Structure 1
């Protein structure tokens, strides 16, 4: 699971913007300005019904500041 969901910077983060784009999800912010420090992203390749899917999950980030459930407020 992506740690971004519980990060204070989810709504302004360029790394999370890229993850949303890769997952074909609507972006929280079309012009994020925050560039996180040393984020580590796992890339998983999944084959579903003869289709290749790519899933990105940030698993470590030096800029991570915990704010549990922060993402919930952006999708009302």
Structure 2
């Protein structure tokens, strides 16, 4: 599971934006040129799943030195 959902920076994080883009889940209208927070030393885990004839990738941020806990901050 992506640790971003409980991070204070999730609304403006460049890495989380990239993960959303990989999942085709861009919910906000923020553009890449807007002021994004760039986290330090992130570790992304990519799980590869096979279903029938399709391959799915699940992107999860599992480590980030900029992580600051604020549970539920992603719900806006």
Q: Same fold (TM over 0.5)?
A: yes
Question: Given that residues 40 and 65 in structure 2 are in contact (C-alpha distance below 8 angstroms), is that contact kept between their aligned partners in structure 1?
Answer: yes
Give the corresponding residue for 1:2: 2
Give the corresponding residue for 2:62: 59
Match of 2:39 among 9, 29, 36: 36
Unaligned stretches of 5+ residues in structure 1: none
Question: Given that residues 39 and 62 in structure 1 are in contact (C-alpha distance below 8 angstroms), is that contact kept between their aligned partners in structure 2?
Answer: yes
State the 4+ residue runs in structure 1 displaced beyond 6 angstroms: none
* Cα RMSD after superposing both structures: 1.2
More helix per residue: 1 or 2?
Answer: 1
CA distance in 2, matches of 1:16, 1:48: 26
State the structure with bigger RCO (CA 8 A, min sep 6), 1 or 2: 2
Aligned residues: 73
**Aligned to 1:5, what secondary structure does the other structure show?**
helix
1:35-57 superposed Cα distances (whole Å, 9 cap, x missing partner): 10001110111112311111110
Question: Given that residues 17 and 26 in structure 2 are in contact (C-alpha distance below 8 angstroms), is that contact kept between their aligned partners in structure 1?
Answer: no
